[in-house]
């Protein structure tokens, strides 16, 4: 019996089929890439797309007059404050003023009962008249004694005695006149008048009360508010600069409200106090303001700005353009004519709240970035947008808002408002 033989063909390796599949996919991808190249009309691959320009706001480096303000906190002080007292004792009969009223020097304010003082004046006047009559009789007697003494009908002693009596009566009449003058003064004190121009405060005594010259409480207080003073302080490091500026002319002082930072009034610097406060290291200064509108009130706290000088034609950039690097180095981003960015180190004379005075690093007319600096770096292209105008660019000599300070290059503080 014959058996049939079965032949088994061995399996081919699987990795051969995998390699063939990869080769086919590669050929297919290459064909697609080549088709896309020739379909776009180019014979070589395109360069990667450039990033879009970074939007920034710029401002020009300009020259302008920049005022140099020194800022301090001060207190408004009345030019004169007078407590109105009675200078005589008596009943307060009348009060002529209204609380809060404006008065002029010499205006009547109150009336003390004048009758006792009028009686004293009349009595002194009568006494003088009596003594004058006695003196006239004594002078007649003296004339008779002197005539008799020449004829030896009377002794010289009698004439001398009569002469002494006449001199005594003459002195007594002078005393009577002094008594009359004093009585007139006391009577004049019964009508109380305002010693200065000013504003009346609260009334402390009502009509009908008995007042005395020794009373500790007055009838009212008159405060002179036009003109008015502001006492303010500055660091002692500014003493020499202020003295030098005062020697060249009158210095302007602006007062602003400490609370809402609004400008109140303008005045002039009158004096520097004669010593430095060693406790605080400050100097005290006094400025006088016309205060025609009563914008300043005695006892009010204000911010005082002293215009020390004005730098003419200073090179300036907006303060928002100035950046700080390591070790407090200052720099700005300058936009070149091709709209690419260059980082530029600068030297600043002083940094204000609106502008910085630059002494080196940029030139007039160059453009600096004032917003968008965080998104740029040297060499990138930017899309320039207009920068918002500075709120004080049109009024460079106006004082800064209260509390806004600037740093000088030497580390001292000032307020700057270009």
**Which of 43-52, 115-124, 269-278, 307-316 is predicted with the least confidence, judged by mean pLDDT?**
43-52
For residue 113, what pLDDT is reported?
97
pTM flag (> 0.85): no
Averaged pLDDT, 122-145: 93
**Which of 227-231, 302-306, 372-376 is predicted with the least confidence, judged by mean pLDDT?**
372-376
Averaged pLDDT, 321-346: 93
- The distance from CA 177 to its chain's CA centroid, rounded to whole angstroms, is 56
Pick the more confident residue, 402 or 286: 286
Q: Domains of the chain by range and CATH?
A: 60-76+225-416 (2.40.30.170), 89-113+191-218 (2.40.50.100), 115-189 (1.10.287)
Q: What percent of the chain has pLDDT over 70?
A: 80
Q: What percent of the chain has pLDDT over 90?
A: 69
For residue 405, what pLDDT is reported?
40
State the average pLDDT for the chain: 84
Confidence band of 400 (pLDDT split at 50, 70, 90): low
For residue 380, what pLDDT is reported?
93
For residue 146, what pLDDT is reported?
81
Whether the pLDDT of residue 401 is over 70: the answer is no
Confidence band of 51 (pLDDT split at 50, 70, 90): confident
């Amino acid at each position: 019996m014959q058996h049939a033989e079965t032949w088994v063909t061995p399996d081919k390796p699987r990795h051969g089929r995998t390699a063939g599949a990869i080769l086919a996919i590669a050929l297919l991808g290459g064909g697609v890439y080549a088709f896309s190249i020739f379909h776009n009309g180019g014979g070589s691959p395109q360069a990667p797309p450039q990033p879009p320009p970074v939007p920034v706001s710029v401002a020009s480096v300009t020259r302008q007059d920049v005022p140099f303000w020194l800022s301090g906190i001060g207190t408004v002080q009345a030019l004169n404050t007078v407590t109105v007292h009675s200078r005589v004792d008596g009943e307060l009969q009348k009060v002529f003023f209204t609380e809060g009223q404006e008065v002029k020097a010499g205006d009547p304010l109150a009336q003390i009962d004048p009758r006792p003082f009028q009686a004293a004046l009349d009595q002194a006047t009568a006494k003088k008249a009596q003594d004058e009559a006695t003196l006239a009789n004594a002078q007649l007697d003296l004339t008779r004694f002197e005539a008799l003494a020449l004829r030896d009908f009377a002794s010289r002693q009698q004439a001398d005695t009569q002469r002494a009596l006449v001199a005594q009566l003459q002195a007594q009449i002078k005393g009577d006149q002094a008594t009359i003058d004093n009585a007139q003064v006391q009577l004049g004190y019964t009508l109380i008048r305002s010693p200065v121009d000013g504003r009346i405060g609260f009334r402390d005594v009502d009509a009908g009360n008995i007042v005395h010259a020794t009373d500790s409480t007055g009838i009212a207080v008159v405060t002179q508010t036009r003109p008015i003073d502001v006492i303010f302080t500055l660091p002692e490091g500014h003493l020499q600069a202020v003295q030098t500026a005062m020697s060249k002319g009158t210095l302007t002082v602006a007062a602003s409200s400490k609370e809402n930072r609004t400008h109140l009034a303008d005045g002039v610097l009158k004096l520097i106090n004669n010593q430095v406060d060693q406790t605080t290291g400050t100097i005290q200064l006094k400025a006088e303001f016309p205060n025609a509108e009563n914008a300043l009130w005695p006892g009010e706290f204000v911010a005082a700005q002293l215009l020390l000088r004005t730098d003419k034609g200073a090179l300036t950039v907006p303060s928002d353009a100035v950046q700080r690097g390591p070790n407090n180095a200052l720099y700005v981003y300058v936009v070149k004519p091709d709209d690419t960015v260059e980082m530029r180190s600068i030297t600043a004379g002083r940094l204000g709240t609106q502008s910085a005075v630059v002494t080196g690093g940029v030139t007039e007319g160059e453009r600096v970035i004032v917003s968008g600096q965080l998104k740029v770096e040297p060499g990138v292209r930017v899309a320039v947008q207009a920068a918002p105008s500075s709120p004080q660019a049109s009024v460079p000599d106006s004082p800064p808002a209260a509390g806004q300070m600037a740093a000088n290059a030497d580390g001292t503080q000032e307020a700057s408002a270009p």
